[in-house]
């Protein structure tokens, strides 16, 4: 028996792909994490902060997709 993979998420009259929801939540989580890193001073250890932000977005999107919106 195959697992049910959602092909789209219905939000009212709007149908969204599940990866878009993952990406939005991962981006928001990465922004919150970046804000925390900037306030605590830990972001000074990054060589190139925009590249670190892109890596955080990728990591957070993967984690959201794996744990929260997994099929």
Please report whether residue 3 resides in a domain: no
Name the more confident of 69 and 42.
Answer: 42
pLDDT tens, residue by residue, 38-48: 999 999 999 99
Distance CA 30, CA 54 (A): 9
For residue 21, how far is the Cα from the chain centroid?
8
Q: Provide the domain limits for residue 56.
A: 16-67
In a domain, 34, yes or no: yes
As a whole number, mean pLDDT of residues 19-45 equals 94
CA distance 65 to 39: 27
| pTM of this structure | 0.81
Residue 50 lies in a domain: yes
**Does some domain include residue 10?**
no
State the alpha helices, DSSP H only, in 16-48: 18-40
Count structural domains, the chain. 1
Query: Does residue 38 fall inside a structural domain?
Result: yes
Opening angle at CA 13, ends 12 and 15, nearest 5: 95
d(CA 55, CA 4): 29
């Amino acid at each position: 028996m195959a697992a049910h993979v959602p092909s789209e998420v219905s939000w009212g009259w709007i149908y969204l792909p599940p990866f878009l929801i993952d990406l939005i939540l991962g981006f928001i989580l990465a922004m919150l994490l970046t804000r925390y890193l900037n306030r605590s001073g830990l972001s000074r250890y990054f060589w190139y902060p925009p590249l670190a932000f892109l890596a955080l977005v990728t990591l957070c999107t993967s984690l959201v997709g794996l744990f929260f919106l997994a099929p």
